[in-house]
Structure formats: C-alpha cells, structure tokens
Chains A and B, each alone.
Chain A
Amino acid sequence: EIMMTQSPATLSVSPGERATLSCRASQSLSNNLAWYQLKRGQAPRLLIYGASTRATGIPARFSGSGSGTEFTLTISSLQSEDLAVYSCQQYETWPPTFGQGTKVEIK
C-alpha cells in the first residue's frame, strides 16, 4: 500500500497571499494523483486530478504540479472561502490511499 505524506499539517496564510501545500508518495505515482478540499459538514470537493488538471468548475487560482513522488497544490491568491483541509489521493495502485491533510487557516 502506498503511503502519502502531506506537509505542513497546518498552514496560516493572509488573504491574497499564495499557499503552497506538499504531498509526497512512498513510491512513484507517475501523475496519478488527485487533490480534494474538505470542509466540515460539506461534501468533499475534487479540485485536481492527473496531478495538474483542474476539475470542472474549479477556480484558476488552484493549480497542481509534480510527478513521481513529489506533488504540490498551489492556491495563488487565498480567499476566505478557501479555509479548509486539503487532502491528496494516489490512484497509481489499488487500494487508493490518502494523505492526512493540510489545514489551511486564514492569518
């Protein structure tokens, strides 16, 4: 089973600033990685798949990059509604596995 490690655990960012979240895999994923936004009481939201492709309706301020074992989710200009936990998921091998998440706080 592939282990996913996210850092940092918590990220405090001022509105309008850039947020950079990292996700590392225990083995190569090629580009088989997705990112999700989780808010309490709401359905998780798919942001990115294929490491860098934005899902339908996702604002352009969200971007994904990386391949192999190192991946990054960038929020170019943080908005107040982006307060959430962000989780990465690998689908290179079955079963799919997730990172523990990065909590984004508004500074």
Chain B
Amino acid sequence: QVQLQESGPGLVKPSQTLSLTCTVSGASISSGSYFWSWLRQPAGKALEYIGRVYTSGSTNSNPSLRSRVTVSIDTSKNHFSLKLTSVTAADTAVYYCARKVDGQGWFDSWGQGILVTVSS
C-alpha cells in the first residue's frame, strides 16, 4: 500500500521560500498514471488545492497561487516537491501531499500533513 510523508521546515520567515518534500513508499513514483499533488489547510478554513506534477513531469497549479508555485518530481529519490515563494502569514497552514489517479477526480492516498508557520 502506498504511503506518503511530508518533510521540511516547520517555520519560514515572511518573504522567503517555503520548500517541502513528499516521500513516497510502497510504490514507484514513476510508474502508473498518477498526479502527485499538494494541498493545504489554514486553521479553521477549507482545504485548498495548490498544484500537481504528473508521472511524466508535467505540472499544473491553482491559478490563485500559480505565480508563486513550483511542483517538481525526482524519480531517482521517489519523491516530489513543492516550492512556494514570497510567503506571508496567510500561507501558514497544514500542508498535505496526496495522490490522484489520472482520469479520477478524488485523492485516494494522503500524507499526514506538516504544519508550516510563516513568522519572523
């Protein structure tokens, strides 16, 4: 069974870049037809879709964040990553990585999430 685990700094200063990695175990990130995705949930608010990288390496992101988001994949390390630039306090949230099967709309596997706080 596939498992996902987020890692990265829990504290980022305003205006800096948030960088997170999602390590996938139990399956090869380069096999199958999957979208490897990032989502986040600020305290008391709804989950928000951030962006995704396909098994082939192609990417897409939420228009609301597109100019600040980079999602990438490293098949040699079986992980994918998120970079969010120019962060502010509004980017404080629990960040999740998740998997979505190509052709389906739901997320069938998730990581447990990592709290990232933006503060000086």
User: Which residues of A line the B interface, CB within 8 A?
Assistant: 4, 32, 34, 36, 41-46, 49, 55, 87, 89, 91-92, 95-101
Residues in A neighbouring B49, C-beta threshold 8 A: 95-98
Count the B residues whose beta carbon is within 8 Å of the partner chain — how many? 21
* B102 interfacial by beta-carbon distance below 8 Å: no
Tell me the smallest distance from the CB of A66 to a CB of chain B, in Å.
Answer: 16
Residue in A4, A41, A46, A95 whose beta carbon sits within 8 Å of that of B106 in the complex: A46
Q: 1/0 contact trace for B77-113 toward A, CB 8 Å?
A: 0000000000000000000101000001111111111
State whether A43 and B4 are in contact (beta carbons under 8 Å apart), knowing that A4-B46, A95-B62, A101-B46 are contacts in the complex. Answer: yes
User: Which residues of B line the A interface, CB within 8 A?
Assistant: 4, 44-49, 62-63, 96, 98, 104-113
Residues in A neighbouring B111, C-beta threshold 8 A: 43
Interface residues of B: mostly helix, strand, loop or mixed?
A: loop
Pair B47/A34 contact, Cβ less than 8 Å = no
Residues in A neighbouring B4, C-beta threshold 8 A: 43
State whether A99 and B46 are in contact (beta carbons under 8 Å apart), knowing that A42-B112, A43-B113, A44-B96 are contacts in the complex. Answer: yes
